[in-house]
Amino acid sequence: MRSRDARNVRVRGAALLAAAALLSWAPGAHAEADKFLVRDGQVAPGEVYTESDGAVPSTQPDQDPWDVFVEAPREKERFELPGPFSLLQTTPQVQTAIAGPTYRNQKFRTEVGAGFGYVNSKWSVPFELSFEPTYRRNKNAPANDRDFARFRTFGLADLWNRGSDWESTAVAGTVFYDAQTSSFNELNLGASVSEVIGRRLALSGNLYWGGIWPNGGQFTNAAVYSFGVSYNFGAGLRSGGFYEPHNNLYDDDDFGGFISYQILPFAELNVNAGKNQFVGVRLMMSYVLERPQAY
């Protein structure tokens, strides 16, 4: 027990140091972190939230609905890249609810809100849905252009996946809708693909069509693509970054980094930092609604 406690202290220390480094880098860097259940900044993975960190579902039954990510022995038959800590596994689950507070701070605005997510792997096509209402305040703005309500919605459905003993590939369809009172509406339709190597290294890419309807402005639409990379250090600690080249939808490029840590078997803390002094923090708390009947 003492050795496990010591290891947990070391992991938490490493996570805090990495988060501090990420936050110190942020002022030098528009990464909105728009999707509540997406860890990697703006790049959605090719799988639902409970499967997108390289975690292979555990074969051991678990009755506690708060046990979502648990420790597991190394799988000798599968190739695994090196890491300082053992990887976690997801407990058997077919319906999971996720909720938690969110915070964003950027050069010109601050947002606070809450995210709500649902993951279903019971049917033939696993999918996830998330909703995030927020309150936004613009900085250094007149009173009539300062406070706004904002609502983000994101959906992802697993379309295809394959794997071998050393890597795996997943493809998903995605949809995103963003609305801000008296300001704009935005809709994105696209796809995401992820390649995971050695269970720890994840490469992801997104391609989507996006359209923006600003109130009183001109409709804009364009294709947008982005790509990201992350590494799972084990024990629920994961970090990486993404880049979105210049495009005609936002008339800008975008980049950022993130660190996530599963602080409890049911809770994951995610910190994003990026362009225009952006910093975002989300706490994602999961609760298993239903487990497979075999368990």
**What's the one-letter identity of residue 170?**
A
Quick one: which of 74, 48, 34 has its CA closest to 177? 34
Query: pLDDT digit of tens for each residue in the chain (295 aa)?
Result: 434 444 454 455 545 444 443 333 333 334 466 899 998 767 999 999 988 766 666 666 677 899 988 876 666 678 889 999 988 888 888 999 999 999 999 988 999 999 999 999 999 999 999 999 999 999 988 888 889 999 999 999 999 999 998 999 999 999 999 999 888 999 999 999 999 999 899 999 999 999 999 887 889 999 999 999 999 999 999 999 999 999 988 889 999 999 999 999 999 999 999 888 899 999 999 999 999 886 5
Question: CB of 246 within 8 A of CB of 253?
Answer: yes
76 torsion bin: left (phi>0), alpha (psi -120 to 50), beta (else): alpha
Domains in the chain: ranges and CATH: 2-290 (2.40.160.40)
- In whole angstroms, give the CA distance from residue 80 to residue 200: 7
- In whole angstroms, give the CA distance from residue 249 to residue 222: 5
Quick one: which of 18, 39, 41, 102 has its CA closest to 256? 41
What pTM does this model have?
0.86
Q: Detail the DSSP E strand segments found in 75-219.
A: 88-90, 95-105, 109-120, 127-138, 147-163, 167-180, 184-197, 201-214
